[in-house]
Structure formats: structure tokens, C-alpha cells
Amino acid sequence: MELTFHTLDVFTDRLFTGNPLAVVRDADALTTEQMQAVAREFNLSETVFFQKPENPAHTAKVRIFTPGAEIPFAGHPTIGAAILAARLKAPDPNSDLDCIIALEQKIGIVRVGVRLRKDQVAYAEFDAPKLPEEETSLPPVEMLAAAVGLLPREIGFANHRPTRFAAGNSFAFVPVASLEAMGRARVNSQHWQTAVAGQGFVGVYLYCRETVHTTSHFHARMFAPDVGIAEDPATGSAAVTFAGVIQKFDALPDGHHKRIIEQGYEMGRPSIISLALDVAGGRLRNVRIGGSAVCVTEGRITI
């Protein structure tokens, strides 16, 4: 059996930056085990498999795999898969097109707005299928710091302290005092096993207010070795969940707010994620993620 695949770089407007994504088309005949094996072969943060939608009004059913596990939802696969689907349905690859791509994911139906313009990089955005909710179980600061190779005094800034939030996927959010400390962070395998492994969250998301670009609001890194991702260049699902952290500590006033998150710089894969938050009555009412993607390769895989 031969299947067509594509790769894209997501959350970027330039080739060979951002977060790479593989998309395998017409994957209805593949078993879960085969999908997992293909994801391990690509060895990217995520691989998406297109299948026929259960509802013919939708664009596709998609399943998302890291090299180590299937996950119900992820941001950069959603953005990349939607942009690829829009390009495939466009009658002319050089034409302007605005469309809604409906993707059936394990978390539910995710509708993605895609904008294609001649001589411009494709852009997509979607409303989060679930709003972030705070969870309570989190290792002590000392253990979290040791797990990422930092000192306890380097954890936290202003009123920000480590928290745990989930919006389909659960993450530990760890504020770091400086950009310099962010650059030194590393997974310490021994301490990671003690503090993080088996705790039920996808990974540890580090963030600080110091940024590389003045147009960014936060600098981030995300470690998830337990699902086969040593470090992720851009994590859309974590950015969705991070909206809960922002509202908890920054208490945004009612209205529409936009935050730019930069990630992947320590890996040589700079990425830019657009995060929009709608607040009403002091609570999050909607979260939207946006980003660009560029197509890189197309080929055939024999299974």
C-alpha cells in the first residue's frame, strides 16, 4: 500500500523554521499500530493521518500521533493540516481563498479558518475546542526546578508561580525568572523521572516575559520526553492552555486581548504563535490560536 504524505513547517513564514509536521493522506486502511509506527519513522513532534470524515459535511477525520503516543488534540497539527487541506481543495494554487476547514479530532470538531493569498504565506486560526481548566496536582517547586536543570530561585517572576492547566491536554506551566535561565534549561532525566514522569501531563512548559523580539509577549520552551518529544519547537495546544495561566495571574480586564508567544529559538527552529483571549465577567470566554505554515515536501510512503 502506497500513501501520499506532505511535510509542512508550522507557526512560521519561512522554510526550515517553526515546527515540522507530517501529514499522511487517505489513511483509512491503516491500523493504530501502523500509524504509530509511521509517526516513529517520521520522528517529528506530531504526524497527522487524514481519513474520511464521519460527517460528509466535514473536511476530514484526523488522528494525531507523537513518536510515542496518540493525542486527542494539538495546535500545530491543526494549523498545518487545515492549511494543507485548503491548498488541496483550492481550484488554483495561486488563487486567493478564504475557507473553513472542519476537522474531526478525538477532542471534537475543530473548525479552522484558512486564508490563502497569492505570493503570501498561508495563515490559519481556530477557536480552542475546550477552555483551559486549572488542575491541582503538581510537584513541589524544588522538584520541578531540578527536573529542568534550574535552581528553585530561578522559578517564578512577579506573582507567577508553577501551575497545572488542561484543555484537552494537561501541562505543567513553570514561570522562569529570566531569558538567560530559559536558555540553560535542560531535561535532567533522573529528576524528571521522580518529579514529572507518570504525573498525567503531556509535558512541562517553561515561559518568561523576557523575549528575543520586542513584538513578543512571552518566550517559551516545552519538554515532553514521556511522549517522545525531547523538546517541541512550537506547542499550540499548550498555548491554548497557557491562556488559563495568563488570566489567572495577569487578571486581564474584560475585552479582547492578543499575546504573541515565541518558541523554538534554543532549537534553531524559531516559531511565532498568535494567542487571542476574550474575557467577560473576569473569566475566559474564548481562546483562539493562529499561525502561518509553509509546505516543504511531498512524497510516497509504502506500508
CA distances from 301 to 39, 40, 61, 183, 220 (A): 12, 13, 20, 37, 34
Q: Find, among 1, 11, 3, 8, the residue nearest to 85 by Cα.
A: 8
Q: At what angle do helices 75-89 and 236-250 cross, to 10 degrees?
A: 130
Query: Which stretches within the chain are classed as H helix?
Result: 32-42, 75-89, 141-147, 179-184, 189-195, 236-250
Told to judge if 142 belongs to the known catalytic residues of this protein, a careful annotator would answer no
Instruction: Name residue 274's beta-bridge partners.
Output: 260, 290
| d(C-alpha 31, C-alpha 10), whole Å | 26
CA angle 99/110/237 to nearest 5° reads 115
Bridge-partner residues for 286, per DSSP? 278
Paired sense of beta strands 97-105 and 60-65, if any: parallel
Nearest-CA neighbor of 169 among 207, 214, 130, 211?
130
Catalytic choice (2, 33, 41, 46): 46
255-263 and 218-224 beta bridge pairing:
parallel
Catalytic residue numbers read 46
